[in-house]
Structures are given as structure tokens and as C-alpha cells.
Amino acid sequence: MFKLSKKVQALPPYLFLEIDKAKRKARGEGRDIIDLGIGDPDQPTPKFIIDCLSQAALDPANHRYTLDQGMPVLRNAIGDWYKRRFNVNLNPEAEVLPLIGSKEGIAHFPLAFLDPGDISLVPDPCYPPYKGGTILAGGAPYLMPLVAANSFLPDLKKIPLSARKKAKIIFINYPNNPTSACASDDFYTELIEFATKNKLIIISDLAYSEIAYDGYKPRSLLEFPGSREVVIEFHSLSKTYNMTGWRIGWACGNAQLVAALAKVKSNIDSGIFSAIQLAGVAALQGEQDYLKNMCVLYQQRRDILVQGLNVLGLNAVKPKATFYVWIKIPAQADAISFAARLLKEANIVVTPGVGFGQHGQGYIRMALTVSEARIKEALGRLKKIS
């Protein structure tokens, strides 16, 4: 009866729908499903953060609208954290903006800079809001293939002049979801040169910087020379402190870009619940042992899963960061049918790579967010059907 806007009609189809439906149906039938599809930590938020929230929730001063730009105490804590973690100096007033989770900021940002006919350079495969945010802002995504032969980094030299001219934004996400690839220093240096030359804004999505293994420390793009002119970086407490449901993250970097996002958001939302902001301060300033232990836990799961998959003849490399394993499936298989078969025959849910974009075809993603025992059980089931 009502006609959807052209923008909403242009949004990509939700390719995980069929898998979601099949998963619900299987659970409904009482089947014992191992869900390796979900990118959501299985462990709880550390108790000291919950305690801080409980206390703060009792204080009526925290019950009212917050400032749109976030509480100064949180912006300062974010600035201090960037200094400690990356040795990057941020001005908390002008270069930091708390968000209701980084997803909303990433999806809203294109509204500030895209006009109809403008382009965003978007990796393929990618986290879906890069495409969705671009389309909802009236722009068009230009897809940059992420392929194994180029270490799942976009090949900037291959982006045609016509796309460079119309592009306003380039999205980058390392450590990467879904491929778990990491960026080299050389790539970041080349990227900043490319963006500067072509007058592009770089959106750096750094959601997984703290989930890393074997001593690897992912870097912030803001550590690199020239970055402050062109970069807005998004970060989140979701993966670092098991706080996906809390909705708290931030944007930081170039002051004009941060201010533009703040202006868009001031027309859309009214800030983060103060008690959650204070809990965010506690998370950033508290003991970081919990995080270290989480990485040890994921690393053990990673080693078991990747080794088991390799024994079964499935081609997967150990990720240096993120809690995803990106797995090449047999050449003749289609990712969606392969995932459907794993659900039907082994009661295992995985994410078909093609759900993140065409270049995810031929891959599936497994998440390390289930216990070691369940990973072993999943490997046993895979062995039976392979």
C-alpha cells in the first residue's frame, strides 16, 4: 500500500535471512545447534563495569538527557586511552565524539558528506553498514574487492579515475571483519597518500584493535603522518569489554569530520545514557587483565579450530586478530549451499561469506565465540560428514 523510498529499495538484500530462518526452525525442532555464525562475545561484561553501571543508575543526576557530544569525563577517558594505547594525542573537546555504539556513527557519517551522485569506496566483502549508510545518504558504493592474492587489502591502484573523482569517502576496517586480515604499515601509508591526493575522507573502523594474538598489536591509522587531515576513526567498547548490548563507542580524529558527525547526530539522537557513559569510563580506566584473559581464551579456541579444520582439508589460516576464522570452501561449492548443508547435516551454523559481498563467495566465516568443548564437538561433526 505504501511505497518504500528509492533509498530503502536500493538497500542490499539481507542474505543471512534464509540461514536465520533455518536456524530458528532447527532449534524449534529441538536439534542441538552449534552457532559459529554470531560475531558477539559469549563471555559476560567484567563485573567492575556492571557495578559501576548499577551505582550510576541509582543517581537521579544520570536520568536526564545527556549532552549530545558526550560527558567530558568520558571524552577525556577516551583521549587518555588513545594516548596510552597508541601514543596518539587527541583534543577531547574537538576530536572525540561518543556514540551509541560505533555502528550508528558509521552508518550516519555519510549523511554529512554525500550528495546524490557521490560515491563511497567500500571494501567487498564488508561489514554491512558501510554500504547501507552510503545508500541511505543518497550515495552509491563503489566496491573494492578484498582477495587473498592481495592479502585482503583493497588494491588502490585499480580504482578507476572515474570512481576516484566522484568518491568522497573510503571505508577501511583492519583488523577486518569478516576476513580477519590485518593492515600493514605500508598499506596505511599508501592509503593516506591516496586519500590526500584524491581529497577523500578515510573512515577507519577499528572495532577489533584489542582482540589480537601472538603478541601482535594492531595500530591506529591516527598514528600515521598526515592522518589528522583526512581520518575519522571509529572504535567501540563492544568487542573489547564484551559490551555489545550496552551500545557505546566513539569516533575520533579530524575535528571537522567529528563536528560534522556531531551535527548530523544532534538531529537524530540525544546521547548515551549517562550511567553507561560512566561505566565506559570505568572500562577504559580499570584493570585490563580481563581483556588479556579474553584474548588467551580466543587464542586457544582459534588454535583448536584452525588445526582441526586443516586436518579435515579445509583451508583456513590462523588469524592474528579478531575472533573470526575465514575459511576457503571447496572450489565447486557455493557459500550459501555449503552453509545450508552444514546446518542440515551437522547442526552447525556458519556465516556464508557472500552475505558480506560478492567477493566473499567461496568462503565461510566461523566465530570463536563458543566454548572449546563446543568447537571440538563441531569438528567431530564435520569429520563425520566430510
**Which residues of this protein are in contact with ligand PLP, per CB under 6 A?**
39, 101-103, 127, 173, 177, 205, 207, 236, 238-239, 244, 249
Question: In this structure, what C-alpha cell is assigned to residue 13?
Answer: 538484500
Q: Smallest distance, Å, CB 93 to ligand PLP?
A: 22
- Closest to ligand PLP by CB, 101 vs 319, is 101
Q: How many CB atoms lie within 10 A of CB 45?
A: 19
- Closest to ligand PLP by CB, 187 vs 340, is 187
Give the integer Cα–Cα distance in Å for 114 and 127.
Answer: 19
What interhelical angle do 255-266 and 102-113 show, nearest 10?
100
Q: What is each CA distance from 150 to 145, 155, 201, 202, in whole angstroms?
A: 9, 7, 23, 20
Q: Which residues contact 222 (CB under 8 A, 6 or more apart)?
A: 82, 86, 88, 90, 204, 228, 231, 233, 252, 253
Q: Smallest distance, Å, CB 332 to ligand PLP?
A: 30
Q: Smallest distance, Å, CB 121 to ligand PLP?
A: 16
Judge whether 181 and 325 are in contact, CB under 8 Å: no
- Closest to ligand PLP by CB, 210 vs 346, is 210
- Closest to ligand PLP by CB, 251 vs 282, is 251
- Closest to ligand PLP by CB, 220 vs 347, is 220
- Closest to ligand PLP by CB, 264 vs 333, is 264
Q: Smallest distance, Å, CB 131 to ligand PLP?
A: 12
Judge whether 348 and 342 are in contact, CB under 8 Å: yes
Q: Smallest distance, Å, CB 206 to ligand PLP?
A: 8
Question: In this structure, what C-alpha cell is assigned to residue 152?
Answer: 585482503
Q: Smallest distance, Å, CB 236 to ligand PLP?
A: 3
